[in-house]
Structure 1
C-alpha cells in the first residue's frame, strides 16, 4: 500500500485488476453506537467492560446490606434499583464513547475506502490513512456494518458502513477479503 498526496489509494487500485473494493460513505454517530453495542454483546472484552460496573456495584451493595443488616425485602429492592441505575449508566457511557469516537472522524467528511488483500486506504476530505490487515485482530459484522477490532498494534475499532458499498457484490467481496485476512468473530449478522 502506498499513499500519494491527498488521494491515497492502494497501489493495485490504479491497475484496474478488480481486486479492490471501494466504499464511499459519510460517518455517522449511529454507526459508532452500533459498533460499540455489538462489541459489548459479542466479544469477551466488550462484555467484561459492559458488565464490570453493574456486577461490582450490586456485589458491593449486597455485602454492605448484609454487614449493615438490611432486611431481605429492602436489600432485594436496593439491589434491583442499583442494577438498573448502574446498567443505565453503562449504556449512557457507551453512547458517550460513541459520540467521542465520532467527533474524531466527523471532520474527515465524506470518506472513500479502497481495500485489497494487503489492507485498506481511507481518504477523507481532510485526511488519508493506510493500514494493513495485520493491525486488526478480527472483525464483527452486523446487518449494516463491518466492525474491525484493534489488535496488538492498534487500539480501538474501525467502522465501515455497508451503505458505502457501490453494490451488494462489493459487500460480498469485502467480506471475502476480511475472511481471508482477519478472524471473523461470530459469523451471525444482526
Structure 2
C-alpha cells in the first residue's frame, strides 16, 4: 500500500477504465457496514451473538443449579438476553464511531477503481490498494463493504451515494465481482 499526503492524485492517473466515486464518509456508513458484516460473515455472527448466547446459557445453568422457580428464571433469561443484546449493539456502534474517527480527518474522498485496485484520495491523505489486499466484499442497499484478506484485517466502506451515476455503481459491482468473492 502506498500512502501520500494531500491532493497528489495525479500520480495515479495512468489507470484506465476506472470508475470514480466522490463522497464524505459518515458514522452511519460504518454502522451499516458493521451490521452487514455481523449478519453475513461467520466471524461477525460469532462476535454479535456469542456473548448474548453465552450469558443466557450461563444464567440458565446458574438458575437451574440454585433452584430458581420457573417464572423467575424465565423473566431473568429474557431480561438478560435483552440487556446483553443491547450491549452488543452498543459495542457495534462504538466500534463504528472509532472507525469513523480514523477516516474523518480525510474529509471528502475521491476513489477511482479499476481492474488492478483502487486509489483513494482525501483532503489530507491518499493511498493505493490492490485487490489482493481484500478477500471478499458484500453489498448493502447504500454501500459496498470490502473485507480484509490475509494481508489486511480491516474493512473498507464505499458509499454508493458517491457514484457519479447509476452506471458507475454497476461498473464497480462488475469490477468487484471479477476481483473479489461476493458474500
Q: TM-score, normalised by structure 1?
A: 0.91
Do 2:2 and 2:127's aligned partners in 1 also have CA atoms closer than 8 Å?
A: no
1:12 match? 14
Please list the CA deviations of residues 138-184 of structure 1 after superposition, one character each: whole Å capped at 9, or x if unmatched. Answer: 00001110000111110121000000011111101000000000001
CA 44–3 in structure 1, closer or farther in 2 if over 3 Å, else same: closer
> Which of the numbers 65, 87, 90 marks the counterpart of 2:88?
90
Give the Cα–Cα distance (whole angstroms) in 2 for the partners of residues 76 and 5 of structure 1.
57
**1:10, CA displacement in angstroms?**
3.6
1:140 match? 138
**1:110, CA displacement in angstroms?**
0.4
SS, match of residue 12 in structure 1: coil
Give the Cα–Cα distance (whole angstroms) in 2 for the partners of residues 22 and 127 of structure 1.
17
Give the Cα–Cα distance (whole angstroms) in 2 for the partners of residues 62 and 4 of structure 1.
54
2:55 match? 57
Give the Cα–Cα distance (whole angstroms) in 1 for the partners of residues 160 and 62 of structure 2.
48
SS, match of residue 127 in structure 2: strand
User: Superposed, which structure 2 residues align to 1:108-123 within 5 Å?
Assistant: 108-123=106-121
**1:128, CA displacement in angstroms?**
0.8
User: Superposed, which structure 2 residues align to 1:140-159 within 5 Å?
Assistant: 140-159=138-157
**1:3, CA displacement in angstroms?**
7.2
The alignment covers a number of residue pairs equal to 181
RMSD: 1.6
> Which of the numbers 42, 63, 66 marks the counterpart of 2:64?
66
SS, match of residue 70 in structure 1: coil
Give the Cα–Cα distance (whole angstroms) in 2 for the partners of residues 2 and 71 of structure 1.
62
Question: What are structure 2's unaligned runs of at least 5 residues?
Answer: none
